[in-house]
Chain A
Amino acid sequence: MNSPHPPPLPLFQPAPPQEQSSLSLQLSWVIGLLFLTVAFLVLLLGQAPAYRNLVGAISINFLAMMVEALPFMLIGSLAGGVIEVFVPVAWVERVFQRRHLRGVLVAGAMGLVFPVCECAVVPVIRRLLGKGVPLGAAVAFLLGGPIVNPLVAASTAVAYNFTWQVVALRLGCGYLIAVAVGLMLGHWFNLDKALARDARPAAPSCCGHDHCSFNGSKPGLRAQLGHALGHAADDFFTVGYYLVIGTFIAAFVRSLVSVEAFNQLLAAPWQAILLMMAMAVVLNLCSEADAFIAASFRGLLPPSAQLAFMVLGPMFDLKLLLMYFGLFSKRVILTLVAAVLGAVFLAMLVVQQFFPQPF
């Protein structure tokens, strides 16, 4: 006999996995395999007495950076998960989308209120972009957050014996460059085209997790927290993958290339600036430590070169470059990198003009 009641509406089911993977997924697969091969070979090489010291140094640098960076990334993922679940889209629209310029100007300085390191900011930005924060504001926070914050100001002050001019220059240049690049990218790119496939929201009204349903009821706090943790855990795998590869490359270069090798290439201030920018990219230091490294070059390099190291490092390095692949499309990454490098170089040339004397 037929039941008098209609069958219940099915709960939302996430989309089935794709039958054929995209080019970016295949590329990611190849990169992963390549990295695993290289890492395994380096490990084997360390068994030979001739290479034991070198591989030992790589291991120390690699582990040290991972043990420091991974917890920050986890904290960032947690913050991103909370943003995903608890920050309403309407609030984001109210704050950021009405006045684009104001949104970028505010985002560039948000690190003063929400200090965040470069490892933690990427998962946070992923969630903010998914909430509808405009690309320009997101990029301004991405670049400005790790440098325009009180912790970096404090470490810079300590490294330079409380020479406040250095602190002001570092934070000021960082803010202006973050805002400028944010405005540029916001103007040139559409948010839909700017994000990597993995970073795009799964559905406009639901994240695709199994507790979403179309029956309209709002889940309780416990379910929401579980939801936030679920998002955060997914970020651990997406962002952590690139963090590991970037950190390994950084540790490899750090162990192989001596600081003195950079000194051999100096001839003019603009060369010193370029050199320190290159060093910032390959050394991958956290934004609190790089001030002490830069300060060790006092008396050897012009102030603009030291500042180039301190401004570029938190915005862009090998580790961040790899993490960007989980966030932006390749075209945006290319534009972002070119814009940041160009802006930092030009800004430091201006600094060299107005502040040629040593700090």
Chain B
Amino acid sequence: MISRLLQASIMAVWAVFFLWLFAVDQPALARLLHPRLWWLVLGGAVVLLLFCGVAFSRLTAPDPSTGLRWTWPSYLVLIVPLVYFWPMQSARFDSRTFLDRSTSITALAPVQGVATAQDPLVPPKVRASGSDVVLDSQIQGDMATPTPLRPTGETALLETLSSQIPLAPPLQNETATQDPVEPTDESVSFSQIIIDPKQYTGRKVEVVCQVLSDQRLPSSQFICYRFRISCCAADALPVYLFVEKQGHQVPVNDSWVRVQGMLSTHKVNGAPFPLIHADGIHADKEPSFPFVF
């Protein structure tokens, strides 16, 4: 009977957790799952409640499984994800995740010792040939003090990054990706600019994004990035554009900012690269949907 009770309790806890995510803590759900899959969470809760009902109705039935002595670890294993909800609530993807999930950014990749003594578990990245600059943009909370790069460094960076521009498909559910904007000449979302920067060249735009400032970029520029997901946070890939700050102070790394300015594009190896000449850079809070789709 104790086994049955434990089984029913575990299923009940999971059902409550799913219902909590769906009905109460949608900001947390938005950081985990694409909105088009939220029905899964509700469906999972319903199924678990059904299982729970059956389990409670069988409380007094003989349990054919082996004794609790051998099954208790498996019951605890099923609770482990719920325990990890606690550190997840304050966790965020940041510039380290940006670099880890970027393909072909060899110019940004070479970091010996991760540029911080804080996470020795993260493996040191291999140095790219000819680069010995330490990436200090991964240092949380520090103001980056960018050193002007040699022109060849910038070219190498841009050339390498140019193949990283995702050839993203046409977006659905555009309203979910629209950041709340103050009036500009054109209301354009971050995703739209990334997908087709040429369409918005010469227009005034406003985007909300996170900051990545790096010594290997010109001192007047920083990367404005977000993460794009297909299904869940585990498949998030970075998408980004450049910002020419034109006298504004470089914001703190990984902070959320609202950038307004004129959009232009650079062509590198034939691919358009979006660049905003910023008129205004303001601190902003994290959007309710931090990912773009």
> Which residues of chain A have a CB within 8 Å of any CB of chain B?
13-15, 17-18, 21, 25-26, 28-29, 32-33, 35-36, 39, 43, 46, 49-51, 53-68, 70-72, 74-75, 77-78, 155, 158-159, 161, 202, 208-210, 226, 229-230, 232-233, 236-237, 240-241, 244-245, 247-248, 250-251, 254-261, 263-264, 283-286, 288-290, 292-293, 295-300
- Smallest beta-carbon distance A244→chain B, Å: 5
Q: Which of B50-88 contact A (CB under 8 A)?
A: 50-51, 53-55, 57-58, 61-67, 70, 73-78, 80-81, 83-85, 87-88
| Structural contact, B230 and A288, CB atoms closer than 8 A | yes
Name 6 extra pairs, CB < 8 A, besides A59-B84, A74-B44: A25-B66, A60-B91, A63-B85, A74-B51, A259-B100, A289-B234
Q: B14 contacts which chain A residues (CB < 8 A)?
A: 70
| Structural contact, A241 and B74, CB atoms closer than 8 A | yes
Q: Does B106 make an interface contact (CB < 8 A)?
A: yes
Nearest to A47 among chain B residues (CB) is B87
CA distance A261 to B102 in the complex (A): 10
| Structural contact, A289 and B231, CB atoms closer than 8 A | yes
| Structural contact, A251 and B80, CB atoms closer than 8 A | no
Contact with A along B104-142 (1 / 0, CB 8 A): 111001000000011111110110000000000000100
CA distance A264 to B53 in the complex (A): 53
- Smallest beta-carbon distance B179→chain A, Å: 21
Stretch at the interface among B151-159, B162-170, B212-220, B278-286: B162-170
Of the candidates B43, B50, B74, B125, the one whose C-beta lies within 8 Å of that of A28 is: B74
CA distance A255 to B57 in the complex (A): 42
| Structural contact, A289 and B123, CB atoms closer than 8 A | no
| Structural contact, A51 and B121, CB atoms closer than 8 A | yes
A-B contacts, CB under 8 A, total: 245
Of the candidates A43, A264, A286, the one whose C-beta lies within 8 Å of that of B83 is: A43
Q: Does B174 make an interface contact (CB < 8 A)?
A: no
CA distance A49 to B102 in the complex (A): 25
Q: B233 contacts which chain A residues (CB < 8 A)?
A: 60-61, 63-64
| Structural contact, A66 and B81, CB atoms closer than 8 A | yes
Given contacts A56-B92, A59-B91, contact A248 B62 (CB under 8 A): no
Nearest to B40 among chain A residues (CB) is A71
- Smallest beta-carbon distance A24→chain B, Å: 11
Of the candidates B78, B88, B121, the one whose C-beta lies within 8 Å of that of A63 is: B88
- Smallest beta-carbon distance B168→chain A, Å: 9
| Structural contact, A50 and B47, CB atoms closer than 8 A | no
Q: Does B37 make an interface contact (CB < 8 A)?
A: yes
Q: Which of B15-63 contact A (CB under 8 A)?
A: 18, 21, 29, 31-33, 37, 40-41, 43-44, 47-48, 50-51, 53-55, 57-58, 61-63
Nearest to A66 among chain B residues (CB) is B81
| Structural contact, A21 and B169, CB atoms closer than 8 A | no
Q: A240 contacts which chain B residues (CB < 8 A)?
A: 78
Q: Does B243 make an interface contact (CB < 8 A)?
A: no
| Structural contact, A258 and B100, CB atoms closer than 8 A | yes
7 residue pairs from A and B, CB less than 8 Å apart: A53-B118, A62-B81, A63-B85, A71-B44, A155-B230, A257-B123, A298-B167
CA distance A61 to B231 in the complex (A): 12
- Smallest beta-carbon distance A57→chain B, Å: 6
Of the candidates A32, A46, A250, A255, the one whose C-beta lies within 8 Å of that of B87 is: A46
| Structural contact, A57 and B62, CB atoms closer than 8 A | no
Of the candidates A60, A71, A230, the one whose C-beta lies within 8 Å of that of B54 is: A230
| Structural contact, B7 and A233, CB atoms closer than 8 A | yes
Counting chain A CB atoms within 10 Å of each CB, the highest count among B54, B85, B117, B123 belongs to B54
Q: A43 contacts which chain B residues (CB < 8 A)?
A: 83-84, 87
